[in-house]
Amino acid sequence: MAEKSATVRARLEPNLKKDTELILEQPGITTTEAIRLFFKQIQLHRGLPFDLKLPDEATRQALEDTQSRQKLSSYSSAQELFKDLDI
């Protein structure tokens, strides 16, 4: 078995770390194990194990509007939402 002595250090937003650790805790995976799994997948795929795509302009604008809480609609019922969607 390979020696495990290399160290990886990363700075993350505290909420991202906390939320991720809560998710990993459910199946009993440690942060170290998750990072090792991710690195192993990068090694096996010889790149990222998923497609990395940039959002198009419409998606980017929708994300910005959502983050700034602009152009949002709220509804008091599902019927009101469906009426607005013309469904």
* Number of independent structural domains in the chain: 2
72 versus 39: the higher-pLDDT residue is: 39
Residue 47 lies in a domain: yes
**Residue 24 and residue 17 in contact, taking contact as beta carbons nearer than 8 Å:** no
CB 58 within 8 A of CB 52: no
The model's pLDDT over 54-66, given as tens digits with 9 standing for 90+, comes to 999 999 999 999 8
The answer on pLDDT for 71 being more than 90 is: no
What is the overall mean pLDDT for the chain? 91
For 2-17, what is each residue's pLDDT tens digit?
A: 777 899 999 999 999 9
Domain residue limits at 39 = 10-51
CATH number of the domain that 46 lies in? 1.10.1220
pLDDT greater than 80 at residue 39: yes
Q: Is residue 80 part of a domain?
A: yes
Residues 42, 46, 49, 53, Cα dihedral to 10°: 120
Compute how many other C-beta atoms are within 10 angstroms of the C-beta atom of residue 61.
Answer: 13
Per the domain annotation, does 25 fall within a domain?
Answer: yes
Q: CA 37, CA 23: separation in Å to the nearest integer?
A: 15
Pair (45, 66) in one structural domain? no
Same structural domain, 47 and 57 = no
Prediction pTM value: 0.59
